[in-house]
Chains A and B, each alone.
Chain A
Amino acid sequence: MKKKLFSETTYRILIIVTAIFFALLVGAILLLIAKTNPLKAYVVMFTEPLGGKFGLTEILVRAAPLMLVGLGIAIAFRSGIINIGGEGQILIGAILGTFIALSFPDLPTYILLPLIFIASFIGGAIWGGIAGWMKAYLSVNEILSTIMLNYIALQIYMFLIRGPMIDPKEVSYGTGVPQTAPLSRNAWLAKIIPASRLHAGIIVAVILAIMVYLFLWKTTIGYKLRAAGAEAKAAKYIGVNVKNYLVLAMLLSGGFAGMAGAIEVCGVHHRALESISAGYGFSGIVVALFGGLHPLGIIPASAVFGLLIVGADMMQRSGDVPASIILAIQGLIILAIVSIQIFFSNDALKEKIMTKLNLMKSGDKDDN
């Protein structure tokens, strides 16, 4: 028999590219329905942000929270639990971090910033942990509970920034914009490129991604977490308390989303305001899936979706199509990615396609 011309990797890449192509094709139809030239829209979306300092720095500004949420979601997925609650966990993290920042404005940065991040982590962790605990001990479907917790978190967050935590200036001027007072300079993440919004949050995110990798693949706890997710029964057999690991996974998952809240507060807005999350809780899911649920895949994946989000904003600003279309395209990408898993797991199907591809390839060779 002839040696296979197509390796496993080429096969995988081919399948993924085909899936993304289909997602973008359906997206093109949607863009047409939205009275937009799809080709032009895609060109703007994928290339315009790359053309200058503004676009490039903005991509990284977006990538930082996406990466953190994506890491959290990957930890949960790897442990066999689906965390759709990123949105709520970001908000609770953001508001707790803001509370610390506003309470201790004069602490030096090197103490204050870690404190804020810890507070945000705890806030998100509690919010995720509730769902994890209910999943483990009451068998409450975690998708439904995390979604409900999103709505609850949003209302609590809005209540706080409209009421008890509103900027006193908003009250005295009578403008009433729902946002907290600005944070003291000590609570700001440092700018890493002047005259842009790019802040040190991206560095924090990358370091955390590497730490998550080491944690999941190089520690016993990480190994057990993944075991609980991959094969709960087997994990039980080797002495893993699957229930406790579910809760732990959701604590960590929520905590990472919570830190994404801190990054937005300390790095971008320097206060807690209404639209702080901008859908990162959901986009993080796409990032995690696109990154193969692997921390080192999530780093580039968050840049890709940072690019798409910035591109969509640019499209909206040029008056082409509302940026919300990017949510629909992300939805399509999720559908595409989950649909192709069968091409990797079903060996018979894989064999069939590989044989066909090999025939095609060898056919090409004969022509030459």
Chain B
Amino acid sequence: MIIDFIIGIISAGIPLAAPLLLAGLGEMFNQRAGVFNLGVEGIMLMGAFVGFLTVLTVGSAVLGLLAAIIVGAIMGLLMAIVTVKFKAKQGISGIGLFMLGWGLSGTLFRVYVGGITSIKGIKTFSFPFLGKIPIIGEIFFQNNILVYFTFLLVPISWYILNKTAWGLKVKAVGTNPQAADTLGIKVERIRFQCIILGSIMAGLAGAYLTIAQTHIFADKITAGRGFIAVALVYFGRWKPVGIMWGTLLFSLAHALQRSIQVYGINFPYEIAVIIPYLLVIVVLALSYKSQFLGPTSLGKPFIRGSRE
């Protein structure tokens, strides 16, 4: 009984981690390049909506994901123009982008869909043999393909960041853009690339929610996951593996909260829903020392010739 309960939570928690991880890794690239993109939540909402709409009308999950990528890239471009070209304050710009995505996804949903409709999502992919192993198979090898893809991105992101020339440029740009500029690195171009990459991943994370997880769209369906992903980048100290642990911690808490409801444990629903958000605050408070480990130029616009 208790083992079933725990297995249930873990196997439910892993797929819940995927969207947070996708968005979190994307935000990591953003912040490593020195840009704080708080618009993730808005981009996720738009990704969730266009992914949903594409599957609803065309019926293809692949096209749905592609649509989310395109929308993510467009919103990322907008964010990059505002924060890199016009050197606007990043925090408040992100809130603008969030409101844009929130308002637009809600509006277009009412115009193009109207009410609650569900779509056919992505089937789970059970690994041959591996998926049949008791417990382990259930936990690790019976998920949809996007979950595997997302977790594969953890080592890939690590490799890109630490072992490729581009990754080193990203880190240089986020740590000391003036020095990077002197070395001939195109600071603004790298930042553009990172914001757009991060936004594409946020778009995908949103599409994951509608296509692979809930199969429906509703206003504010992301419920703060974009913001949580940003917070988890701090918690994960700007490292892919750290971010992965953060998202797992989170999604397990989320799964636990759901189980509490399913098992009918007498606990007010609203109080259970608070748990993940409370956890973010606790996590942020506990990881306050890690700010010294973060990219030193995070949040500062690059102005050529300035000394800061």
Contact = CB atoms under 8 A, between A and B. Distances in A.
By secondary structure, the B interface counts as helix
Given A145-B284, A338-B92, A321 B227 contact: no
Interface string B91-118: 1111111111111101110110000000
Interface stretch (B55-63, B204-212, B272-280): B272-280
B69 interface: no
Contacts of A143: 38, 91, 94-95
Interface residues of A, number: 47
A182 B99 CA distance: 33
A148 B95 contact: no
A322 B110 contact: yes
A24 B273 CA distance: 38
Contacts of B230: 144
Contact of A148 (B81, B104, B280): B280
B4 to A, nearest CB: 29
B96 A332 contact: yes
B263 interface: no
B218 interface: no
A152 interface: yes
B3 interface: no
B268 interface: yes
A328 B93 contact: no
B291 interface: yes
Given A34-B107, A134-B285, A139-B288, A339 B82 contact: yes
A289 interface: yes
A271 B253 CA distance: 35
Contact of A149 (B107, B110, B271, B281): B281
Given A138-B285, A143-B38, A159-B268, A326 B224 contact: no
B51 interface: no
Given A140-B281, A145-B281, A331-B103, A324 B110 contact: yes
A338 B38 CA distance: 14
Contact of A285 (B95, B97, B281, B291): B95
A325 B99 CA distance: 10
A335 B103 contact: no
B231 interface: yes
A33 interface: yes
Contact of A155 (B78, B96, B274): B274
B129 interface: no
A185 to B, nearest CB: 31
Contacts of A147: 224, 227
B281 A134 contact: yes
Contact of A327 (B106, B110, B269): B106
A327 B93 contact: no
Contacts of B285: 134, 138, 140
Contact of B107 (A139, A156, A324): A324
A331 B89 contact: no
Interface in B220-274: 223-224, 227, 230-231, 234, 268-271, 273-274
Interface string A127-144: 000000010001111011
A152 B92 contact: no
Interface of B: 38, 42, 78, 81-82, 86-89, 91-104, 106-108, 110-111, 219, 223-224, 227, 230-231, 234, 268-271, 273-274, 277-278, 280-281, 284-285, 288, 291
Interface of A: 30, 33-35, 82, 84, 134, 138-141, 143-145, 147-149, 151-152, 155-156, 158-159, 162-163, 282, 285, 289, 321-322, 324-335, 338-342
Given A143-B38, A325-B104, 14 more contacts: A139-B291, A140-B284, A144-B231, A152-B278, A163-B268, A322-B110, A324-B219, A325-B107, A327-B106, A330-B103, A331-B95, A338-B93, A339-B86, A342-B86
20 contacts: A34-B111, A134-B281, A144-B280, A145-B284, A152-B274, A155-B271, A159-B270, A163-B268, A289-B92, A322-B110, A324-B103, A327-B99, A328-B107, A330-B99, A331-B98, A332-B100, A335-B97, A338-B88, A338-B89, A338-B92
